[in-house]
Amino acid sequence: MALAPVHHILPLTTIVRERVLPVKGRVLARLNQRVSPTDVVAEATWFREHVFLDASRILSLSPEAADKLIRCKVNDRLAAGAVIASGRGLMPKIVKTPVEGRVVAAGGGQILIESGESRMELRAGISGNVINIIPDRGVVIQTAGALVQGVWGNGRVDTGVMINLAEKPDAALTANRMDVSMRGSVIVAGQVRDAETLQAAAELPVRGLILASMYPSLLTTARSVRYPIVLTDGFGMMPMNSAAYKLITTNVKREATLNAEAFDRYSGVRPEVIIPLPISSEPVPPVDEETFAAGQTVRLRRPPAVGMIGTIASLRSGLTTFPSGMRAAAADVKLENGEQVLVPLVNLEVVG
Amino acid sequence: MPASLVEGDSLLAVDIGGANTRAVLFDIVEGTYRFIASGSAPSTAEAPFKDVSKGVRSALENLQAVTGRSLLGADQRLITPAQADGSGVDAFVCTLSAGPALKTVIVGLLSDVSLESARRLAETTYTRVAESIGLNDHRKPDEQIDTLLRLRPDVVIITGGTDGGASRSIRKMLEPVGLSGYLLAPERRPSVLFAGNQKLDDEVRELLGGVSSSLHFSPNVRPSLDTEDLEPAARELTSLYLGVRKRQLKGVDTLEAWAAGHVLPTAYAEGRMMRFLGQVYGGARGGILGIDIGASAAVIAAGFRERNSLGVYPHFGLGENLPALLQYTTLENILRWSPLDISTSVLRDYIFQKSLYPSSIPATKEDQAVAQAVTREALYLAMQTARRDFPRSARVPKPGLLPFFEPIIAGGGALGDAPTPGQGLLLLLDAVQPVGVTTIILDRNNLLPLLGAAAARNSILPVHVLESGAFQSLGTVVSVVGDASYGSLIVRARLVYENGTEARADVKYGSMEILPLPVGQSARLTLQPQRGADVGFGPGRGGTTTVSGGAMGVVVDGRGRPLILPDDPVRRRELIKRWLWTVGS
């Protein structure tokens, strides 16, 4: 039995997501609280930089002697220019802090001050119920709706009503197709081929782009824009896979959350589109682990028919030789257009 | 070897790679250890599995299906020791390369001395040097602290000072490491290896012991200014590496328990095997070379009479790091290796798409052509990088070329899976560009690192397996160093077989010729280079040597070194197709 990776494209499922601060902070949300995507669920303060002062060297004293002259201790808050230590004599040398900050370490004749205090707000990202509190770090939120996982995201999160500009799965989005009526929306399209389009979307501004694919040369621009971008299929000129296209285009005019987190293959964090839907009972959560079997819906990761959706007609026994000369475990996959192709199992992922 | 000398224990070895996990069974057959069979499965370090032992169990299930021998019990645990009913194995070892390259900061004194040693040390395992801090660093200590806090390294390697030498400067270097460790949350603190002036060990322990996730010490990599000894520190680094992996990857601790502690980084195990082979083969015709290129990294292990070198280059791996390759080369440079007319946009899309799905394989001819072009360029760059650290005393036919190697052993997913021996051989010749007379051995089942890991449990096993024919000899290659116009005679070759018959070839510059010599046979090869070319006997000098056969026989590569491909793309692709045709692909 061959283990199968699973790519979620689900019309209705229970979605549970952890939202945590990168540093220790304060959780603001309460257990069972209903949150919307823009609600701040936790906050933290952090310091952008540190200042290291070697009083011992400045005062030309031994560390022990300098320690006796240092007037501050750990956790003291200091104003810019505050005297930390002063030497002795008629013209004593003085050690001052150049910045406002907090003492985080002192000893051995040295002081370390953190400065540039910044406040960080963690937003819920999705609407749902807080089902767990992670002390000092964040929350776990549960919602129900449609889920479309992507393969690449630019690290941003936002929510907006979806507008479909993809009249077909490979429709290219260009700057002149966007107008002011789309301001604050999430735009669905097939491909983006130039940086001007990404810039034009930023200038509107949009709340996000759901794209099938994008030229790799646009990665730098895509990472720099402030709205989220989720690629459902990959790089180049790939059309949107039919399963994602059907699901997204049948939900246009609904609100969608684009959680365009960078794909982390080890933690399992993936960019995703979540479309909250009303429910009468809790739907089945996604299944993360599968083994390949006949009848499964799959997506092809490599040529031929890259990006297409099909159904496993049969699993071949032993190893099969491919036109490339490679030998691998394989499956016969019936594509949606009726064509049947032979595919290495490692080039397939189960859609579900 | 008499059977009485054989310990008689069966051994199961598993390699967990970035893309695939392979399980290999070794056992006694007719008094000697043999490679019995292998089973493989996709690796499961990544989500949703997040447990490397799942991929191992899956590979073991495949191995069970091939051998009919039960290895896993009903509880999914390894059956050990071997049972009377034939199930189970007596010993288990494991090698590991899965997981992201460890983000590493190197700290030292002089950039061309201790920092250079730290870099070389870091390159002995799966690390990515993200920052270096040294005496010539003009940043203030607070800036260095902020850099370390921003990077949050997995590993900090500290070198510097000869034994009994500089200590004050090193203390100064330790400050940013210690203070940043103090400021980081305990679970985010780096593991630290101190491989500098041993006089400072106690101070380092006191300063960094409480602010690192683990603190390791090794003998000084630079005991004196003109001496470098990486080996003890590299050994300690493997222990550090496995400690980090245990924290990062579920299942490593289970495998460590099965293996009674015999888990090694794959590259280190390969390096150990190359050291052993260096003792067996070393010196006759030059150094020995081991190559492994897969999803995690390109690994180049070389053994010379003076010392060994091991280079692990995750940025030349063919998996998730593939886009990083474009920081070292261009799309055009990669495409120069392709026999098909492929656009740069197709190649760029391939590179980024492949990084999304590292375990995927080419199924079509065009996809295969792109994949092999990428492999050639990555391996070529890895070789050029590794060459910097080969000893200066290693004999080279011409500056800028590789030293003489005999033999070259190549493995890893990208080479082991080559569809034909000829394709694998040509890929190696293009990327490695060996010189002189070299035996090329293909480690199709990636046994070399597994034997390196097994050696610690059973010293006889690797010797027997090496002698058993488990490795595929591709044959002997004669690589001509010289320059001439295309089509002019560059070397005359005459092969005299054991039965007295002979074969001849006049090799023209820019072409390749094959003289058949089956596996297991040897013959006398006489070479007469023309126009001052060098085939290993010196410029313009001919000679006779005994060569061994292989799947490709004796291949005379008259394309010159370095291999310069024509600028004209049409002519270049025609030539590549002709070379592929010559090697039977």
Nearest by CB: B353 against A5, A234, A326: A234
CATH number at residue A310: 2.30.30.50
Quote the mean pLDDT of chain B: 93
CB contact at 8 A, B294 and B303: no
Instruction: Report the residue of chain A nearest B413, measured CA to CA.
Output: A326
Confidence category of residue B7, pLDDT binned at 50, 70, 90: low
CA distance A53 to chain B (A): 9
B360 to A6: CB separation less than 8 angstroms, yes or no: no
CA distance B345 to chain A (A): 8
- Residue A74 reports pLDDT greater than 80: yes
Instruction: Report the residue of chain A nearest B46, measured CA to CA.
Output: A266
Q: How far apart are CA B452 and CA B473, in angstroms?
A: 19
- In this predicted model, which residue has the larger pLDDT, B307 or B322? B322
- Residue B2 reports pLDDT greater than 50: no
**A150 shares a domain with A260:** yes
pTM of the model: 0.93
Determine which of A165-174, B300-309, B312-321 has the lowest per-residue pLDDT on average: B300-309
**A264 shares a domain with A175:** yes
Share of chain A above pLDDT 70, in %: 100
Q: How far apart are CA B3 and CA B105, in angstroms?
A: 50
CB contact at 8 A, B155 and B193: yes
A50 to B420: CB separation less than 8 angstroms, yes or no: no
Q: What integer is the mean pLDDT of B354-358?
A: 93
Q: What integer is the mean pLDDT of B154-160?
A: 97
| Residue A335 backbone phi and psi in degrees, to 5 | -80, 165
CB contact at 8 A, B43 and B14: no
- Residue B280 reports pLDDT greater than 80: no
CB contact at 8 A, B362 and B337: no
- Residue A283 reports pLDDT greater than 80: yes
B368 to A347: CB separation less than 8 angstroms, yes or no: no
Confidence category of residue B165, pLDDT binned at 50, 70, 90: confident
Please identify, among A245, A276, A307, the residue that sits at the C-terminal boundary of a domain: A276
B210: contact with A, CB 8 A cutoff: no
Tens-place pLDDT, residues A98-149? 999 999 999 999 999 999 989 999 999 899 999 999 999 999 999 999 999 9
Q: How far apart are CA A12 and CA B262, in angstroms?
A: 47
Tens-place pLDDT, residues A154-209? 999 999 999 999 999 999 999 999 999 999 999 999 999 999 999 999 999 999 99
**Strand-strand pairing, B11-16 and B91-96:** parallel
Unique residue bearing structure tokens 């200014």: B225
**A304 shares a domain with A192:** no
In chain A, which residues have their Cβ closer than 8 Å to the Cβ of B182? Answer: 105
Residue A326 carries which side chain, given as an amino acid letter?
M
CB contact at 8 A, B539 and B578: no
- In this predicted model, which residue has the larger pLDDT, B382 or A289? B382
CB contact at 8 A, B293 and B318: yes
| Residue A297 backbone phi and psi in degrees, to 5 | -80, 130
Query: What's the farthest any 2 CA atoms get from each other in chain A?
Result: 95
Strand order, beta sheet including B102-107: B127-133, B102-107, B155-158, B191-194, B214-217
Confidence category of residue B1, pLDDT binned at 50, 70, 90: very low
Nearest by CB: A266 against B100, B140, B183: B100
Confidence category of residue B283, pLDDT binned at 50, 70, 90: low
**A296 shares a domain with A272:** no
- The range of the structural domain enclosing residue A261 comes to 3-11+145-276
List, as one string, the DSSP characters of A18-60.
EEE-SS--EE---TT-EE-TT-EEEEEEEEEEEEEEEHHHHTT
Nearest by CB: A235 against B349, B361, B363: B349
Report the pLDDT value the prediction gives residue A90, as an integer from 0 to 100: 81
In a domain, residue A268? The reply is yes
CATH number at residue A206: 3.50.30.10
**A246 shares a domain with A194:** yes
**A150 shares a domain with A203:** yes
**A151 shares a domain with A7:** yes
Report the pLDDT value the prediction gives residue B282, as an integer from 0 to 100: 63
CA distance A13 to chain B (A): 17
B186: contact with A, CB 8 A cutoff: no
Q: Within chain B, how many helices (H) and strands (E) appear?
A: 16, 22
Tens-place pLDDT, residues A231-271? 999 999 999 999 999 999 999 999 999 999 999 989 889 99
In a domain, residue A131? The reply is no
B420 to A235: CB separation less than 8 angstroms, yes or no: no
- Residue B5 reports pLDDT greater than 60: no
Nearest partner of A25 among A47, A43, A46, judged by Cα: A43
The sign of the CA dihedral B331, B334, B337, B339 is negative
A266 to B364: CB separation less than 8 angstroms, yes or no: no
- Residue A315 reports pLDDT greater than 90: yes
Confidence category of residue B413, pLDDT binned at 50, 70, 90: confident
Share of chain B above pLDDT 70, in %: 98
List, in order, residues 6 or more apart from B20 with CB less than 8 Å away.
B40, B41, B42, B43, B295, B359, B413
Report the pLDDT value the prediction gives residue B45, as an integer from 0 to 100: 94
List, in order, residues 6 or more apart from B232 with CB less than 8 Å away.
B218, B219
Unique residue bearing structure tokens 């039965």: B499
In a domain, residue A287? The reply is no
In a domain, residue A79? The reply is yes
B423 to A6: CB separation less than 8 angstroms, yes or no: no
In a domain, residue A28? The reply is no
Report the pLDDT value the prediction gives residue B4, as an integer from 0 to 100: 38
- Residue A41 reports pLDDT greater than 60: yes
CA distance A52 to chain B (A): 5
Quote the mean pLDDT of chain A: 95
- Residue B338 reports pLDDT greater than 90: yes
Q: What is the ipTM of this complex?
A: 0.90
- Residue B8 reports pLDDT greater than 80: no
Q: What integer is the mean pLDDT of B489-511?
A: 97
CA distance A86 to chain B (A): 21
In a domain, residue A133? The reply is no
Share of chain A above pLDDT 90, in %: 91
The 10 Å Cβ neighbour count of residue B387 is 18
When divided into structural domains, chain A yields a total of 3
Tens-place pLDDT, residues B367-388? 999 999 999 999 999 999 999 9
B364 to A322: CB separation less than 8 angstroms, yes or no: yes
**A7 shares a domain with A151:** yes
Q: What does the domain layout of chain B look like in residue ranges?
A: 3-96, 102-243, 267-582
Looking at domain B102-243, what is its CATH homologous superfamily?
Flavodoxin domain (3.40.50.360)
Q: How far is CA A294 from CA A44, A291, A315, A338, in A?
A: 50, 10, 7, 16
A216 to B364: CB separation less than 8 angstroms, yes or no: no
In a domain, residue A152? The reply is yes
Nearest by CB: A267 against B42, B47, B360: B47
Instruction: Report the residue of chain B nearest A152, measured CA to CA.
Output: B356
A325 to B423: CB separation less than 8 angstroms, yes or no: yes
Nearest by CB: A52 against B141, B323, B365: B141
B361 to A346: CB separation less than 8 angstroms, yes or no: yes
CB contact at 8 A, A131 and A103: no
Radius of gyration of chain A measured on its C-alpha atoms: 27
Tens-place pLDDT, residues B481-494? 998 999 999 999 99
Residue B59 carries which side chain, given as an amino acid letter?
A
In a domain, residue A139? The reply is no
Domain B3-96 architecture: Roll (3.10)
CA distance B344 to chain A (A): 11
B149: contact with A, CB 8 A cutoff: yes
